[in-house]
Amino acid sequence: MWSWARYYNVCSALASAVPAGCRRDADMTFSVRGIAWTAFAVAVAVLVACSVFVFRAANRLSSSEAAVGHTREVATLLENIAGEIFRASNSAQNFVLTGDRELLGGYDSAVNQIPNDLRQLRVLTSENRERNQQIDSLQADIQSELALIAGFIQSHRKGTSNIDADAQMARDTAVVQDRIEAQLQQIQEEEGQLLSARQAASRNNYRHTLILIAISVLVALGLLAAQMFLLNFSYSQYRKTEYAARQSREIVNAFFASSTVGFGILDSQLRYTRVNDVLPRMAAMQPEDLLGKSVPEVFGIRGSRTETVLRNLLRTGTPLLDREVSTELPRKPGQVRHWLVNYFPIPGETGAFTQVGIITVDVTARRNAEEALRKLSGRLLGIQDQERRRIARELHDSLGQYLAGLKIALELLGGSPSPEKNTELLAECRDILEKSITETRTLSHLLHPPLLDEAGFASAASWFVNGFSQRSGIPVSLDLPPDMPRLSESVEIALFRILQESLTNVHRHSQAPSAEIKVESDAEQITMEITDHGRGMPARVLQQLQGDGTKLGVGLAGMRERVHELGGSFEVTSNQGGTTIRASIPLSVREESQTAGATALG
């Protein structure tokens, strides 16, 4: 008897094993994922903050470097101004001493360059009000000195100069020159101090920038290490989850592939998403004929009725067990199959039922066997009635007539006074009794030959074959093993009934001129083969015999059932040249029977 509860429990466990594991792993993965995302967010925030600090430090460093460069440029301009003043004064002195006008080229160049340098110096120090005041004073002194030098040169050009005027001009020029040098020295010293301060600030900014960069790198490395640890942990958890899921899938796949029961899974739209090889084979289809198709698309009207039931199952979550379905095969009209089906809901991740599991067992053979058994039982009852009528007819036509004649003879014997007449009547009575005994023995042997119990199958088969040949006129050859042992009672009766029924069919249907019987025995089984050379069996009979056998006659069906009950095999082959019936029965039946008998005797 099929254990649907066991199959339902197994399949429900298989269907829910993966989701449950996935939910546990999902919870664990969620916590690890939260930690990973938190670490990532902190890493991003820290890196952004470090980037901002580094950017600001870099700006300060750049500003410091620009300030240092600015100070160096101011110092350079101050040196240029001092050099230009010296060149102007030196050119004027050389002109005065030599009178060579070409020596005034340095003076003219200095006069043209000094205003540009002062203007550029004023631009560079425009933000320093005190420095601008110093530059104004310096510019005034420079202009005074240049004016004195210009007057000195002009007087010598006109020839109006004298020693006293030159001495006074030299004294005035020296005073202005000293004042200019003092101012330049002061400005250069202040700019040097500013340069030193700015260089120190630049170095500090550079050092701070390096520290911030180092801190950023260390923080990034730490966060990267933490992220790598979390990723490694997540990956290990993922591998465990994947292994559990793969193991569950392999269990389901093995269960699907190795089971002799049809399995299938339907989605929420009642489309086949997975089937094993057995389920489509039950419907005379291929797996691709089911996958992706809905139940109504596959089974038509019958599938539409089933669809209503399955949608109600998804809504209520109540499984349907031991539901018998009988339908025609979609691609083989007229061929009806009987299936015993279990439908059970499969929950999704949210807990709602989104899939339907199907377990199907093909009970067509059992239903056909039950139908054949009912028909065979009816036929057997009919044959039993026919056999009773035949025996009654035989008794009435033969033994009854003999007994009636015997009664008449006895009545005549009682009323006859003649001794000669009595002697004739007594002889007639003996003859009638002899015929009655013979007829009774014949009927008894046909019903169950005594030789079968006394001498075994070999003697009974020889006796029946000889009598059959004499009565039917069909020559039959019998080939028996020379050392054939006694068999169990059930095996001998089965072989004798098969022999009896086969020869009866030869006489009634085959119109065969002859027949052969061959019996072979080895250590494991005994085989009997009956062959006739008649017209053979009709094709429809052979087809029914190879099928479920529901429409076979009692003779062939009875022979097959006898052999199958003993665990043997029964084969029939037929063509236009005749028919061969082959029955093989294992000898273990004899051993079991003998063992049972010995136990009973003990």
Nearest Cα residue to 512 out of 466, 580, 578, 581: 578
Q: What is the predicted pLDDT for the residue at 590? A: 45
Q: What is the predicted pLDDT for the residue at 517? A: 93
Length of the chain: 602
SS3 528: strand
Is residue 546 packed enough to be buried (19+ CB in 10 Å), middle (13-18) or exposed (0-12)? exposed
Q: Is the pLDDT of residue 461 over 90?
A: no
Residue, of 348 and 7, whose pLDDT is higher: 348
% of residues, the chain, pLDDT over 70 = 79
| H or E element that contains 432 | helix 419-447
How sure is the predictor about 519, in pLDDT bands with cuts at 50, 70 and 90? Answer: very high
Q: Is the pLDDT of residue 17 over 60?
A: no
The span from the CA of 493 to the CA of 566, in Å, is 11
Kindly report the average pLDDT of the chain as a whole number: 76
Q: What is the predicted pLDDT for the residue at 527? A: 92
Residue 531: phi, psi to the nearest 5? -125, 130
**Residue linked to tokens 């004798």:** 496
Pick the most confident of 293-302, 578-587, 589-598.
578-587
Q: What is the predicted pLDDT for the residue at 583? A: 92
Local structure of residue 277 (DSSP, 8 states): S
How sure is the predictor about 388, in pLDDT bands with cuts at 50, 70 and 90? Answer: low
Q: What is the predicted pLDDT for the residue at 29? A: 46
Q: Is the pLDDT of residue 447 over 70?
A: no
Q: Which CATH class is domain 259-362?
A: alpha beta
Q: What is the predicted pLDDT for the residue at 32? A: 59
How sure is the predictor about 550, in pLDDT bands with cuts at 50, 70 and 90? Answer: very low
Residues 6+ apart with CB under 8 A from 492: 452, 456, 457, 460, 486
DSSP-derived pairing of the beta strands 332-347 and 320-329: antiparallel
Residue 520: phi, psi to the nearest 5? -125, 145
Cβ atoms of 480 and 574 closer than 8 Å: no
Which CATH code fits 4-237? 1.20.120.1730
Cβ atoms of 579 and 529 closer than 8 Å: no
Residues 6+ apart with CB under 8 A from 458: 480, 484
Cβ atoms of 122 and 135 closer than 8 Å: yes
Q: For residue 536, give the amino acid letter.
A: G
The span from the CA of 478 to the CA of 39, in Å, is 95
Q: What is the predicted pLDDT for the residue at 400? A: 63
Dihedral (CA of 161, 165, 167, 172) sign = negative
For the ranges 157-166, 342-351, 585-594, the lowest mean pLDDT is seen at 585-594
Pick the most confident of 91-95, 163-167, 550-554, 583-587.
583-587
In DSSP terms, which residues pair with 455 in a beta bridge? Answer: none
Number of H helices, E strands in the chain: 15, 10
Q: What is the predicted pLDDT for the residue at 490? A: 83
Instruction: For 248-266, give one letter per residue: b (16+ CB within 10 A) or e.
Output: beeebeeebeebebbbbbb
How sure is the predictor about 417, in pLDDT bands with cuts at 50, 70 and 90? Answer: low
Local structure of residue 291 (DSSP, 8 states): B
First-to-final CA distance of the chain: 34
How sure is the predictor about 188, in pLDDT bands with cuts at 50, 70 and 90? Answer: confident
Torsion-angle region of 355 (φ positive above 0: left; ψ -120 to 50: alpha; else: beta): beta
Q: Is the pLDDT of residue 413 over 70?
A: no
By 3-state DSSP, what share of the chain in percent is helix, strand and coil, each rounded to 5?
A: 70, 15, 15
How sure is the predictor about 22, in pLDDT bands with cuts at 50, 70 and 90? Answer: very low
Is residue 523 packed enough to be buried (19+ CB in 10 Å), middle (13-18) or exposed (0-12)? exposed
For the ranges 5-9, 189-193, 349-353, the lowest mean pLDDT is seen at 5-9
Local structure of residue 486 (DSSP, 8 states): P
Pick the most confident of 180-189, 396-405, 498-507.
498-507
Average pLDDT, stretch 198-222?
Answer: 79
The span from the CA of 39 to the CA of 382, in Å, is 89
Q: Is the pLDDT of residue 38 over 50?
A: yes
Provide the edge-to-edge strand list for the sheet that holds 353-362.
272-275, 262-266, 353-362, 332-347, 320-329
Task: Kindly list the domain boundaries of the chain, sorted by start residue.
Answer: 4-237, 259-362, 365-447, 453-602
Helices of type H across 99-162:
105-124, 129-158
Q: What is the predicted pLDDT for the residue at 597? A: 39
For the ranges 104-108, 391-395, 493-497, 540-544, the lowest mean pLDDT is seen at 391-395
How sure is the predictor about 593, in pLDDT bands with cuts at 50, 70 and 90? Answer: very low
User: What angle is formed at CA 166 by the lines to CA 161 and CA 171, rounded to 5 degrees?
Assistant: 155
How sure is the predictor about 576, in pLDDT bands with cuts at 50, 70 and 90? Answer: confident
Residue, of 265 and 589, whose pLDDT is higher: 265
Topology, domain 453-602: Heat Shock Protein 90 (3.30.565)
